[in-house]
Structure 1
């Protein structure tokens, strides 16, 4: 068994013009990571990188080191976040451009279209006064064609990840992409010589697999990590839900934990559901989640008591869920490789070292 483990990859670790204008000269993701503070006693912040340090992704050697660590972990390839806002407007394109143009690192990859607007978020004010920085738009066929021509150059790279010959394309907000765009992309891919595209919808909430397949997606990613607490409530009798909510409020008051704090060890076993056994449902695993470097006490969800052993069990659950699928479709999404500002990263830090890398490798080796 050789599952495809695809790790989402954030390129926001170098200064660029728009960030300088919006946040101040030299701003990168490390700015938020470095200034983070613990919100309660025992809260693991700030998170400090170990082997790679506070790297700059303009440096090719860093990207090679990341690829080496990914191979060590059993990661098949990176899913580079790709920002196309319409009419050719992109952000943070330098990293992937260099990966594509140089042929390095020699690690498989695919693209994940982060099709969302960028806002300056008013965390302390309850998001009532967010300011639009860059709007996501879908201007029409000329824009779609221009976007596809860029995608096609990537699809033709021998490193590009394909499923049964179809280039893999992950879409962050699948309901917002006009159906015409998906139809054009698939048609143009076929005209370029591919069987089709393997379009993957990142899914929250209640919409069904059938809903997305009707739109033109081949598969969905079950992204439920921020819904785990609400799911637990929904499965309880009302009196138990009332008691559990009261217990959480008391615990938070005594410990100082934020309202959305969740015990990673408690919920890790709930992440992979029976739905993930469906051929067209891709499981998603995550080493942790903690948005507080960006949003402080307004963070709606923070996992604590994270540890590589619990992540290993989650990874094993995901591998079990996909083992009976066709070999080409044995896919797991890893969220994420390097989202330090959201606390989900595999790269070594000062607390766990290579713990998460070794945990995933152990799970992969077990199921080979």
Structure 2
């Protein structure tokens, strides 16, 4: 139960590490996030791929001991909670819900948690397929369906591990602007929460219009995921492969400010990005967001975006800059959202890997210890 000014570190948590029938149909029998991770190959000189796990191995989230080990590891290194991505598409349709349901029944998974409703339609082109077809549609079916969703969430909200702020369960919404009856949705969830002994819902937006977030008292925060694009666009050049063609394209693209994302990976420099990063809190509901690394070539191949030169030392600098600025803020929520705990196919993780071991986590612990 958070009701003070202590800074808490929360990390997004991806549950796509167990097979489901839908993934079997779309990508092949037995598909999990590891399928793409193990197939990754270097795309240019000194490109580090594949990025492979160490301590926890190629885990299966159907195994309870895996979540128990993740919980202990995260808590040992200063992570205060996981933000589980939740895929609810309306009309009782969920995907990848089993790890959270299993965690709810397992008291040995001690780390606090909350949900981020990842409310978007899945399309093949976004997930590494060559076609733009809709795989599963996000639907908004109105009050009766929202009530059913709340009732599904209620046992999680009531769990003592669920993250609450002033007796309000924290609930993230990925694409706030996509909800056609947003006011009704927020009002209904608040009413249902109050009728079940809470003081409402602590709603947090991810992607969404800042003016909408600011204007609605029902919303308590907005995750600053724009830091990712800020670091992306502030860089002054696009790095391509070391071929002659790549060098020529680089000069042309630098002059014309073009990219060929569909033909070559879009490669940026994490070191340059961190050096140029000017941490800003755009409004009083702004929640700091940070990321240690990014390389989604395992999933997207030549269509990927890669931050080269991401190291634990630079990650610590990024985190330190953000925490230092957060300490100066009077009214903003005292959370730092880390993207992410285990998005391995995006090269975006804190879990130990073969190259850096526990160093990503050590950076978190060192910064966290300095906060206390």
Q: Give the TM-score taking structure 2 as reference length.
A: 0.87
Instruction: Kindly provide the CA deviation profile for residues 5-56 of structure 1, in whole angstroms up to 9, marking residues without a partner as x.
Output: 1110001001111111111111100000000111101111100110011111
Give the aligned partner of residue 78 of structure 1.
82
Shift of 1:280: 1.3
Corresponding residue SS for 1:274: coil
Q: Distance in 2 between matches of 1:307 and 1:315?
A: 12
Q: Deviations over 1:46-98 (max 9, x none)?
A: 00110011111111111111111101220001111111100110011110001
Q: Which residue of 2 aligns with 1:140?
A: 142
**Mapping 1:284-299, distance limit 5 Å:** 284-299=289-304
Mark the CA change 1:329 to 1:212 in structure 2 (over 3 Å): closer, same or farther. Answer: closer
Q: 1:37 aligns with which of 38, 41, 57?
A: 41
CA distance in structure 2 between the partners assigned to 1:222 and 1:104 by the alignment? 32
Determine the structure 2 residue equivalent to 1:26.
30
> What does residue 54 of structure 1 align with?
58
Structure 2 residues without counterparts, runs of 5 or longer = 251-263
In structure 2, the partner of 1:118 is: 122
SS in 2 for 1:283: strand
**Map of 1:239 onto structure 2:** none
Change (3 A) 1:271 1:76: farther
1:333 alignment partner, SS class: strand
> Are residues 1:262 and 2:273 paired?
no
- The alignment status of 1:89 with 2:93, answered yes or no, reads yes
Q: Are the counterparts in 1 of residues 350 and 360 from structure 2 also a CA contact under 8 Å? A: yes
Give the whole-Å Cα distance in 1 for the aligned partners of 2:287 and 2:275.
Answer: 17
Distance 1:326 1:186, change over 3 A: farther
2-side partners of 1:359 and 1:327: how far apart? 26
Secondary structure of 2:219's counterpart equals: coil
Q: How does 1:97-116 map to 2 (within 5 A)?
A: 97-116=101-120
Q: CA deviation at 1:102?
A: 2.4
Please give the residue correspondences for 1:191-210 in structure 2 after superposition, counting only pairs within 5 Å. 191-203=195-207, 207-208=209-210, 210=211
CA distance in 2, matches of 1:131, 1:22: 11
Deviations 1:215-252 (A, max 9, x none): 5422101112442356427xxxxxxxxxx44x857978
Shift of 1:151: 1.6
Aligned pairs for 1:121-270 (under 5 A) are 121=125, 129-177=131-179, 178-179=181-182, 180-203=184-207, 207-208=209-210, 210-215=211-216, 216-228=218-230, 231-232=233-234, 244-245=236-237, 248=239, 253-254=246-247, 258=264, 260-270=266-276
Residues in 1 aligned to 2:122 and 2:158: alpha-carbon distance in whole angstroms: 29
Q: Please report how far the alpha carbon of residue 282 of structure 1 lies from its aligned counterpart in structure 2 after TM superposition.
A: 0.4
- In 2, Cα distance between the equivalents of 1:319 and 1:98? 33
Question: Counterparts of 2:128 and 2:290 in 1: how far apart (Å)?
Answer: 30
* Preserved CA contact (<8 Å) 2:287 2:332: no
- The number of equivalent residue pairs is 350
**SS state at 2:79 partner:** coil
Contact 1:39–1:256 (CA<8 Å) still a contact in 2? no
RMSD of aligned alpha carbons: 2.5
Equivalence for 1:15: 19
Q: CA deviation at 1:302?
A: 1.0
Task: State the match for 2:261 in structure 1.
Answer: none
CA 1:102–1:160: 2 relative to 1, 3 Å: same
TM-superposed CA distance for 1:291, in Å, is 1.3
Indicate how the Cα distance of structure 1 residues 173 and 38 shifts in structure 2: closer, same or farther if over 3 A, else same.
same
CA distance in structure 2 between the aligned counterparts of 1:167 and 1:354, rounded to whole angstroms? 31
Counterpart in 2 of 1:241? none
For the residues of structure 2 that align with 1:352 and 1:261, how far apart are their CA atoms?
21
Mapped to 2, the partners of 1:366 and 1:109 lie a distance apart of 23
Matched position secondary structure for 1:148? helix
**Structure 1: any 5+ residue segments left out of the alignment?**
234-243
Match of 1:275 among 253, 278, 281: 281
The two structures have a TM-score, normalised by structure 1, of 0.88
Identify if the C-alpha distance between structure 1 residues 147 and 365 changes in structure 2 by more than 3 Å, giving closer, same or farther.
Answer: same
